[in-house]
Amino acid sequence: FADIGNTVKLQYTKGLFRIVEWADLVTVHVLPGECIVQGLEQAAQSINEPRGCLLIAQMSSKGAFTDNDDYVKGFY
């Protein structure tokens, strides 16, 4: 996951996959801040099984869309 806390909470618990019900461990990028971990923690309280998250402290941006000359950096 790599979004703001409430969005991650909804992604984790709702929708087609209901990830919280079957994933014992998820990966989480720390860029959004502590709210992402708090959102997952709140969501995991809805079940009675242990859940965990692996924090991704670093990752490469090589090949990212933002490195492409065609990437739009704003709307004018």
Average pLDDT, the chain: 88
Residue at 1: amino acid letter: F
Predicted TM-score of the model (pTM)? 0.75
Q: Is the pLDDT of residue 75 over 60?
A: no
> How many C-beta atoms lie closer than 10 Å to residue 5's C-beta?
20
Helix axes 34-44, 5-13, angle to 10 degrees: 30
pLDDT at residue number 43: 93
What ranges do the domains of the chain cover?
5-59
Q: Which residues contact 1 (CB under 8 A, 6 or more apart)?
A: 8, 11, 12, 26, 27, 28, 29, 36, 40, 53
Q: Is the pLDDT of residue 76 over 70?
A: no
